[in-house]
Amino acid sequence: MGDSMLRQDLRQYLLNFVVKHPKLTVDEGYIISEATDRLQRQKRSQEKEMIDIIRALRQLSYQQHLSQDGWQLLTKLQRKQWIWGVVNTFQLFGH
């Protein structure tokens, strides 16, 4: 699977998430909007973008400014990041 396909997958996931979760805060919406813009115009890996989104959402959480919908996104992205880490480790060792 090519890098552009991975970027599109995360971008599309985020866009769909925004539509399905209208109770996101302005800050959460901004984080997602910036991420989808970067994924569309830059050749940045989906993994790096996901890490930045997770970091930004965690910061909102630390400040107690994370909505339930934002918490749900954070949880899903962290789970996806963990799964990718496991898959990449297996690929590294040839399994």
Give the side-chain half-sphere CA count within 13 A for 69. Answer: 16
Distances in Å between the Cα of 49 and the Cα atoms of 12, 22, 56, 61, 94 are 13, 22, 11, 18, 26
Per-residue pLDDT of the chain (95 residues; tens, 9 = 90+): 344 444 458 999 999 999 999 999 999 999 999 999 999 888 778 889 999 999 999 999 999 999 999 999 999 999 988 776 666 666 666 65
Delimit the domains of the chain by residue range: 3-92
Nearest to 35 by CA among 22, 54, 62: 54
